[in-house]
Every structure is written in structure tokens, then in C-alpha cells.
Structure 1
């Protein structure tokens, strides 16, 4: 049984995240709304994966980094915050730490959890991500060519990003496309790292630091995925499924589509009229709809 720790101070979002993640097989989810409670949870129920907000009522979610280090917990840590850009300078550059901007859909949350909890392959070794290869090359000041199947290649020269090329072009746009294709098809795309001769590296087409290029590429990938998510409004009145209506309401709230969210929670309220959380969300949405109209 794998354990997931979720730290989120917005109760409706904490409830939705834990509820949705509990739908995964062989997973136990522990939800906390304060940093203090989450730190205790790290000791009581050592997690295999952590999702955390950053701005909390009793401190910063970044405090989990030090706490996990002291406890020797090597679980992947995913920060999800609307203010992540304000805190990136304080977040260590580690392949074990992921930073996402709110809002994050529940489907993407569970897909990420399944990816992070994936066990080692049959060889007993973990597969490196593209970013791992790039960062290892940068830290070791290596000169390498990193090829991602047929999607293109990135050249690191003496630890510095030098060149990227794919079938559509080169430079930063090619770098972004290679990263996006890797993130989309990572289970199918082999990564091959070979030594690059400095004298045959060709002209430089990448400008900037590796961290900056990766951050921009991943942000563009996340935004493209978010824009592509255009969930159709379900036939809520006929759904007859409380969890489906509830999750639809949460998704719509995250997308700031308050009218659809209100319809979803209203349908959920018909099925569970005494559910206090549903009633609270309906009241909140009534205010938000009025503010949006005004």
C-alpha cells in the first residue's frame, strides 16, 4: 500500500484532492490543512508521495523540504500553488521536486500521482527523465548530445545549453518541442546520451541557463495542456452519481467557470441534500457569480 500526503489549507480543495486520489488502487491518502499537522503526518505515516500548497496559515509549505530531509524521507514532493513563481528562488533544483501552478485539474493530479508512484522497471533500476540527463550534464560540465527518439536532440557543451534541433527547426522553439514531446510520450521515447565533441558542436542556438530554459519549456507545456482541457458540461440532472457531479463542480471552480460549478453542485445537492460541504460551495458560488456579473 502506497501512501500519499496532501497539504492544502482550502478545505473544499483538500477534500476533492484526497477524495479523487483515493480512487487509485493500493493507495492510502492522508490530508492535512496546516504545516504543523503535515509535519506530524510525515512521522506518523511516512509517505511515498507528497502534494503541498506553499502559502499556509501557519507557515510555508517549503518547510516540508527541511522536515523531509531531517527524517530521511526521499518521497517525490510536488508543490501546487498560485504563487509558485514568487517562491521558485527558494526551492532547491532537484529532480525530486516538482512545481506546478494552480489550478491543476484532478485528472492531471491523479496522472501525476500514478507517474510518481510508478515502481522500478524489471531491471530494478529507475528510468532517468530527460531533465535528469540535462541537469547531470550541466552539473558535471559534460559535453553530450541527448537524443529523444525521433523527436530531436539537445546538445550540452561543457555544462552549458548549446543547441537543440528537431524536424521543425532549432534553437529554443525546438528545445520546447522536445521537452513537450518527452513529457507527452515519456513512456515510449528512449533517451540516448552520447559524448559530444566540442569541435563538431556547431553554432550555438540556445541562449540562457539550463534551469531557465527547462522552466520556460515546462511552463509552456503545462499552459498548453491547460488550454487544451475543455471539459464538456455533463448532463448533470441525469448523472445520478454524486462523486461525478462533485468532481465536475470542483473542476469548474478551478477553471473559474462558476455557472457550471453551481449547476454541478446543485445536482450533487439533490442527491445529498444534507451535505454541508456542498451547501457551503453553493453559497460561495452564489457570491462569486454575483461578483463576476458585476
Structure 2
């Protein structure tokens, strides 16, 4: 059972997300609290996943994210936002957020996205990925610092990183590359260490900036 904590200052949002997720057989919302109660709730409820509003009137979502990331075994945190562009996205990804979800995400997709987070995959709502992430990465231009970082990776580690970018869990990566799950975990840890990041999303962003990921069809056409 995937245990989820919803953090948002709007009661309607908390209730809506709780209702949708609790309808799934494998997901349980263990708490739904405003931002001021987030850190205490994480400490007491020990959720697997935290869905955290990035903009709250009583406390900054980035501050809450930083506090949660200081836990010895922090849960996976995905940020919630109302807008498909948000100036806080870059800071949140660099601070260890595992993804971004729009609050108007299709209810049918929401449980799937939570499952992807639980598997360790990076999760970015399509609108966020296109209008925010691609934008701040300056798509089409390779970042020299990212190229230098990815040059540290072995060929196998690059293969693993590309599959992480596809959102695959360790078991799925192992099946694809004919490796044990333990071996994949070792490769993922090595990738994060060599890229000097703390989350899969951050690693994927560096891979994107370094030009390791397959270009889109639009880029192919150009």
C-alpha cells in the first residue's frame, strides 16, 4: 500500500486529491494537512509520497521541501502547482523534488503518477515538462557543465540514466538490460553520485542538458 500525504492550504484541494487517491486499491492517503503542519505530519505519519503545494500563504513550499529533505529517510516529494509555468520550478527540482503535478491533473492519471513516484521514476505533468522544464533548460543547446558531468559515466551507467528518463522503475530497467535489481540500484546510485545530484529528476535534467536523451520528433523534422 502506497501511503500518501497531501499538503495544501486549500481544503477543497486536499479533499479532492484524497478522494481520488483513496479510490485506488493500492494507495492510501494517511494525511491531508495545510502547509504549517506538513513537517510534523511527515514525522508522525511517515508517508511514502508527499504531494506538496509549491505556493501556500502561510509557509513557502520550498522551505517545507528543504525541511523534509533533511529527514534521515525522507519521503518522495512531488510539488503541486496551479500554473503550467512557475518561477519556483527550477529551485524545487534542484532542491530534490521528484516531480511536478498540476492541480488539474486528470483524475484518472493521478493514481498512475503516484505509482510512478513510488517506483522511483521522475514525474512531470506534460504541460509542466514542455512549458517549464524544456524552457529553462534552453532546449536545443548543450550545457558544457552537464556534458562534463555525464562524461564521468560509464556506458552502462548512461544506459541506465536514459531508461530512468523514460520513467522506468529499477525492476523494469533490470528487465530491459538483463541486470538484477540490486545491480541497477548500484548503477543509479553511481549515476547520482557522479552527477552530484540527489534525485532522479535532477539526473534526468542533466542528461537532457547534455544532449543524452533522444530528440523529439519536432527536432528530428527540423
TM-score, normalized by length of structure 2?
Answer: 0.54
Residue ranges of structure 1 left out of the alignment (5+ in a row): 119-125, 130-135, 155-177, 194-208, 221-294
CA RMSD of aligned residues (A): 4.1
Moved over 6 A (4+): none
Residue ranges of structure 2 left out of the alignment (5+ in a row): 123-145, 179-186, 188-204, 217-222
Write the distance in 1 (CA, Å) between the matches of 2:147 and 2:40.
37
Aligned residues: 160
Residues 1:105 and 1:41: Cα distance change in structure 2 (over 3 Å):
same
Residues 1:184 and 1:143: Cα distance change in structure 2 (over 3 Å):
closer
Write the distance in 1 (CA, Å) between the matches of 2:8 and 2:41.
13
Residues 1:190 and 2:176 are matched in the alignment: yes
How far the C-alpha of 1:211 sits from its partner, in A, is: 6.4
> SS of 1:20's equivalent?
helix
Write the distance in 1 (CA, Å) between the matches of 2:177 and 2:53.
32
What is residue 88 of structure 1 aligned with on the other side? Answer: 89
Residues 1:29 and 2:29 are matched in the alignment: yes
**Larger relative contact order (CA 8 Å, sep ≥ 6):** 2
TM-score, normalized by length of structure 1?
Answer: 0.43
How far the C-alpha of 1:87 sits from its partner, in A, is: 0.3
- 1:196-235 to 2 correspondence within 5 Å? 210=206, 213=209
Write the distance in 2 (CA, Å) between the matches of 1:74 and 1:137.
29
- 1:132-211 to 2 correspondence within 5 Å? 139=149, 141-142=151-152, 145=155, 146-147=158-159, 182-183=166-167, 187=172, 190=176, 210=206
Residues 1:73 and 2:69 are matched in the alignment: no
Q: Deviations over 1:130-150 (max 9, x none)?
A: xxxxxx9864642655458xx
